[in-house]
Amino acid sequence: MDLETFWFCLIAVLWAGYFVLEGFDFGVGMLLPVVSRTDEERGTLLKTIGPVWDGNEVWLIVAGGATFAAFPAWYATMFSGFYVALLLVLVCLIVRVCSFEWRTKSESPRWRAAWTWANTIGSLGAALIWGIGLSALLHGTPIDSDGEFAGGLSDLFSPYTLVAGVAVVLLFAFHGATFLTLRVTGELAERAARTTRRLALPAAAATAVAIAWTVVVAMDRNDKELFPSALPAGLGIAALALGVAFVFTGRTGRAFAMTALATISFVATLFVGLYPRVMVSSPSFENSLTVDGAASSHYALTVMSVVAVIFVPIVLLYQGWTYWVFRKRVAGERVEPAQPV
């Protein structure tokens, strides 16, 4: 494997990690009005992700930084062409950050309700845009012969990218619901379990369609064969089926593992279908950006690889330690036992 391919794979891993970890963050945010009934319960749900949500954002920052350093041409074209979409994502993320920090600054019910909804809307909006934006890399956007984006915001939208965006929203909500079943107690845990059962079939169906469609788009728009894109796609669809089965048999821990695996498989299917290109050009396919053509110099990639080998394991160990420290459940409202008649 050459360094260009290594860094393409590493960026795919970073996006997969971001989707898995921030996915349940977004899912919890989207489910705040669904699972909770009182302000205290909403506070409990936010506590489940309070110690880790900002650390999960690091995966996005590293993915963006790695793209800038390893594939400057890809970074330049994508960030200029997707400028409005990325700005909307930034607004959604900023709104979420503010909701965590400002929600408890006042005891006013309206104040707290407003920031709760801000978290929900920010979570849903960011998930939707990420799904549309990443799938647009494969479906194709207008790129001229100089490698510059030649379209507008509307070029990101197609039936496939919209389905992918909705699928990511549902998958993250499903992922977040399974996460809550492992992190809360009492009535909140029961409601989270019911929500998981309600989301299981629609989320699995939508995500399976998006994954299968990704393979078709890779063959149609990126001149790919059925394999190897079908391998992560098959794994993802199998994980979704197992996740649904585990939900309805009460094996919530295994269900959470399967939603995480399905999320990883969706990202893997997208990046496997994209390789050896980083952005597909449509309608002028010959203007597509390739891994080799968009990469930095060999020396730069070599230095970056040494740095990555040293520091990535340290970051992983630190984040793993963080999850271990905050592994215990967050207590919800206690369910009083029924009094004998």
Domain ranges of the chain: 3-325
pLDDT greater than 60 at residue 277? yes
pLDDT greater than 80 at residue 334? no
Predicted TM-score (pTM) of this structure: 0.94
Mean pLDDT score of the chain: 93
Closest by Cα among 341, 139, 113 to 220: 139
pLDDT greater than 90 at residue 335? no
Q: What does the pLDDT average to over 46-54?
A: 90
**107-146 tens-digit pLDDT:** 999 999 999 999 999 999 999 999 999 999 999 999 999 9
Q: Phi and psi of 242, rounded to 5°?
A: -65, -40
**pLDDT given at position 327:** 84
**pLDDT given at position 158:** 96
Q: What does the pLDDT average to over 306-325?
A: 91
Identify the band that residue 340 occupies on the pLDDT scale cut at 50, 70 and 90. very low
**pLDDT given at position 7:** 97
Residues above pLDDT 90, as percent of the chain? 87
pLDDT greater than 90 at residue 54? no
**2-26 tens-digit pLDDT:** 999 999 999 999 999 999 999 999 9
Token match 């070029």: residue? 155
Among the residue ranges 39-43, 161-165, 276-280, the one predicted with the least confidence is 39-43
pLDDT greater than 50 at residue 1? yes
pLDDT greater than 50 at residue 320? yes
Identify the band that residue 328 occupies on the pLDDT scale cut at 50, 70 and 90. confident
